[in-house]
A and B are shown apart, each in its own frame.
Chain A
Amino acid sequence: MNVPASWYLILAAVLFGIGLFGLLTRRSALTMFMCLELLLNAVNLTFVTFARTLSDIGGQVNVFFVMVVAAAEVTVGLGIVVTIFRNRSSTSVDGLTELQG
């Protein structure tokens, strides 16, 4: 018998939690991006686990699309990061308070 799917799901949940904590706690924009990738990977893991559990290839197709979108998102996101932080010395997101009030 293979390891039950629930273990992988718990692993994915824990990975998601760690990524969430990192997203809330770190200040640098690029580190926050990497935590985002953690979140996405946790989701991918969940999808693949369910694809196995329910015998539906749709789960893996979804992971495929998530990866594509993640790639596009990183592209545009890093472009934004570059534009914003070009003229500043640090990448701390605490400096972006223009939407205050």
Chain B
Amino acid sequence: MVAMTYSIPSMLVFLTSAILVVVGAIGVISFRNPVHSALSLIVTLFGVAVAFIAQSADFLAAMQIIVYAGAIVVLIIFVIMFLGVDRKEDTSVEPFVGQRPFALAGVTITIAGIIYLMASSHFTTGAMSVSSGGAQLATGQANVHQLGTSIFTTYLFSFEATAALLMIAVIGAVVLARRENAQVATEGDVE
């Protein structure tokens, strides 16, 4: 068996993250209640965080939990509650003819193709393992230190740009969600 050439702990970690990810993903797309889907999403995100740690991306794993699971999913649940759509939707009938089969076919072909393409190129031989090539990442400076150095030196411009992007997003969200009535009210007050 091929598995014997790999260490047990790494395989166990992989298995854990794989199960969490796949189960959660299937849960997201299957549950009819959006709140249940959101909770499945959290499971997936945890699985991905585990995978991150296995790949020596500690800071990212932490960020994943804090930002994704902690902020984004909360935001989604917030909006679900706000709009009041936290009841079951009817997913048994698909109004578009052939949407599901075609989607399945398209997705399967795409993913299978991508995997095949990955397999036929030299990136996925796995020759570079953590011990050899990944030495820098694993045994060098701490992950946060490395990440921080490169963000604030090599990728400084992108960093500043994302800062601007965040601000624009916030302003945009505020403008979008504003109610028109408020404007009318203030005009009445002035007169």
List A residues 1-53 near B (Cβ within 8 Å). 1-11, 13-22, 24-28, 30-31, 33-35, 37-38, 41, 44-45, 48-53
* Number of A residues with CB within 8 Å of any CB on chain B: 73
B124 contacts across to A, CB distance below 8 A: 4-6, 9
Q: Would you call A70 and B29 a contact (CB within 8 A)?
A: no
Number of A-B contacts (CB under 8 A): 255
Interface residue count on the B side (C-beta < 8 Å): 94
**Given A21-B107, A53-B123, A79-B177, is A71 in contact with B63 using a C-beta cutoff of 8 Å?**
no
Within 8 A of A (CB), among B1-60: 5-7, 10-11, 13-14, 17-18, 21-22, 25-26, 28-29, 34, 37-38, 41, 44-45, 48, 51-52, 54-57, 59-60
Q: Which of A2, A54, A91 has the most CB of B within 10 A?
A: A2
A41: chain B residues at CB < 8 Å are 44-45, 48, 68
Q: List 8 A-B contacts (CB under 8 A).
A: A9-B118, A14-B111, A17-B108, A17-B111, A57-B147, A70-B72, A75-B75, A85-B83
- Specify which chain A residues have a CB less than 8 angstroms from the CB of B44 in the assembled complex: 15, 38, 41
Q: Which residues of B contact A74 (CB under 8 A)?
A: 72, 75-76
With A2-B130, A48-B51 already in contact, the answer to whether A91 and B67 are too (CB < 8 A) is: no
- Which of A6, A8, A64 is within 8 Å of B119, CB to CB? A6
Mask, B53-91, CB within 8 Å of A = 1, is 011110110011001100111011001101101000101
Complex CA distance for A83 and B44, rounded to whole angstroms: 29
CA distance A72 to B131 in the complex (A): 37
Knowing A54-B128, A57-B150, the reply to whether A71 touches B173 (Cβ < 8 A) is: no
Known: A10-B115, A68-B165, A82-B79. A57 touches B68 (CB 8 A): no
B41 cross-chain contacts in A, Cβ below 8 A: 34, 37-38
B7 in contact with A53 (CB, 8 Å): no
Q: Is residue B103 contacting chain A, with contact meaning CB distance below 8 A? A: yes
Contact of A13 among B13, B91, B114 (CB under 8 A): B114
In the bound complex, CA of A8 to CA of B67 (Å): 22
Say how far B59's CB is from chain A's closest CB, in angstroms. Answer: 8
What residues of B have a CB within 8 angstroms of the CB of A37 in the complex? 41, 45, 68, 72-73
In the complex, A19 Cα to B111 Cα: how many Å?
A: 11
Output the least CB separation between A99 and chain B (Å). 16
Knowing A51-B137, A82-B82, A82-B177, say if A25 contacts B99 (CB, 8 Å).
yes
Q: Which residue of B lies closest to A8 (CB)?
A: B51
Q: Are B137 and A15 in contact (CB under 8 A)?
A: no
Q: Is the CB of A90 within 8 A of B85?
A: yes
Q: Is the CB of B34 within 8 A of A31?
A: yes
B158/A52 in contact, CB under 8 A: no
Q: Is B188 an interface residue (CB 8 A)?
A: no
